Each structure stands twice: as structure tokens, then as C-alpha cells.
């Protein structure tokens, strides 16, 4: 288990340093192979990060942006992570980036697993960067401890890159990257703020199994860079 802590005094210094670090990793990937793949998470924490990153000048037309997970709602819905990304990241300089959606017109997320998986496979993975978030129950992406699909989401031999999940403690069906897709990424970040979330994270690692606190599964399987400010 490797966790590398990148700690900042306040959120402003975190946003400034982290957005520059991300831009640098994307540029590096573009210089090496001609394109870059980044997967981001929804929620309120990354919103100011998206806005900071959107203003940085780089060859955005060579960057593919997708999500670690998505709620099975229309892209215009207020709960849509795609909407959050379009309104806060795919603006300014980053308006030229290519967005890859994790939803289809299927009524059930499960019916779209193969199609979304193919869509992501076409990007020539792995992801150069994935930025995870974490809930107070220790879930990450849409790998929830309360979801019947969790063990399959952890199955490292699973063919599809994504899994449809249905948490019992949160609304909406979801489409989530699998553990295998997450840990194959070149740089795995967990971006959280506040003492409460840090305590949840430390408690997950020290006192729980991966099935109880799914973020632990990521830490157990790859180097995780924890980006945190109080």
C-alpha cells in the first residue's frame, strides 16, 4: 500500500499547484504519444479545480476527458457529472478538449456496459491521469460499499472497463470505472478537502476491509497520490 500525501495550507494553494501539476502531466503525455487521457470525478470539491485547469494553456484538442463515474441521468440533469464538467472544465482554454460520455440512451445502465467499455477502449488507455473523490462512507467512483455489484467491480479479470452499479444509500443507477481501470492509470490522485474526509480516509486504511471502504481497494493496488488541504 502506497499513499503519497501532497498537503497544502489552504485550498487556494492546492488549486494553483494541483492544476499546474495536472497540466504538466497532460503535456508530457501529449509530447510522448500525441494525446492525453484524463478521467475526473463529480461533486463540489473538484469544481474550483476544473475552473483553474480550464484556464491553463495547453494543446487541449489532443486531450480526451471522461469521468470516473456518472449517474444514469440525462446530461442536462442537475445531478449529471457530465453537466458539471461541461460547465466548469470544458470552458476557456479547455473548450477544445474532447469529452467522452459515460451514458447512452439505454434505460438501464447495465445494458450499456459493453458500449461504454468500447467507447473508452477506443481512447487507447490507460488514463494518464485519474482524479478520484471519496464519500464519507469510503466509496470512490461509484464503487459503493452498499452496492451488490461491488465485488464484481473489484474483479481484476473483468472484461468490461466499466460496471453499472446501484447504490442503496444514494439515488440513481450509476456507471463506474472498475477497480482494474482505475489502478491501471499512470497517475491516480485522490482529491479531498477538510479534516473530516481525511479522518474517513485514514480510518478506512487502518480499520476496514476494501469491501467496507472501497477507497482502500485502490490504495492496496496502486500508488495513490492524496491531494489535501484543510
For CA atoms 44, 49, 50, 52, the dihedral sign is: positive
**Tens place of pLDDT for every residue, the chain, 230 residues?**
789 999 999 999 999 999 999 999 999 999 999 999 999 999 999 999 999 999 999 999 999 999 999 999 999 999 999 999 999 999 999 999 999 999 999 999 999 999 999 999 999 999 999 999 999 999 999 999 999 999 999 999 999 999 999 999 889 999 999 999 999 999 999 999 999 999 999 999 999 999 999 999 999 999 999 999 99
**Tell me, what DSSP letter sits at residue 127?**
P
Cell numbers at 2, concatenated: 502506497
CA nearest 35: which of 60, 15, 18, 1? 60
List the CATH code of the domain at 2-174+192-213: 3.40.50.1360
Q: How far apart are CA 5 and CA 25, in angstroms?
A: 18
Residue spans of the domains in the chain: they are 2-174+192-213
Amino acid at each position: 500500500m502506497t499513499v503519497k500525501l501532497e498537503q497544502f495550507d489552504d485550498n487556494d494553494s492546492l488549486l494553483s499547484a494541483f492544476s499546474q501539476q495536472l497540466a504538466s502531466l497532460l503535456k508530457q503525455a501529449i509530447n510522448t504519444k500525441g494525446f492525453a487521457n484524463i478521467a475526473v470525478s463529480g461533486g463540489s470539491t473538484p469544481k474550483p479545480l476544473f475552473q483553474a485547469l480550464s484556464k491553463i494553456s495547453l494543446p487541449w484538442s489532443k486531450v480526451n476527458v471522461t469521468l470516473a463515474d456518472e449517474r444514469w441521468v440525462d446530461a442536462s440533469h442537475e445531478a449529471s457529472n457530465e453537466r458539471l464538467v461541461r460547465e466548469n472544465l470544458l470552458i476557456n482554454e479547455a473548450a477544445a478538449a474532447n469529452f467522452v460520455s459515460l451514458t447512452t440512451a439505454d434505460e438501464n445502465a447495465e445494458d450499456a456496459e459493453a458500449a461504454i467499455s468500447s467507447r473508452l477502449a477506443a481512447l487507447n488507455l490507460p488514463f494518464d491521469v485519474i482524479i478520484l473523490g471519496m464519500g464519507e462512507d469510503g466509496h470512490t467512483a461509484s464503487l459503493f460499499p452498499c452496492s451488490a455489484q461491488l465485488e464484481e467491480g473489484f474483479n481484476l479479470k473483468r472484461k468490461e472497463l466499466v460496471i453499472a452499479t446501484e447504490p442503496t444509500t444514494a439515488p440513481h443507477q450509476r456507471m463506474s470505472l472498475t477497480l482494474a481501470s482505475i489502478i491501471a492509470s499512470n497517475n491516480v490522485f485522490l482529491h479531498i478537502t477538510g479534516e473530516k474526509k481525511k479522518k474517513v480516509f485514514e480510518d478506512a486504511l487502518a480499520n476496514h476491509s476494501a469491501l467496507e471502504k472501497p477507497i482502500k481497494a485502490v490504495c492496496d493496488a496502486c500508488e495513490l497520490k492524496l491531494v489535501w488541504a484543510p
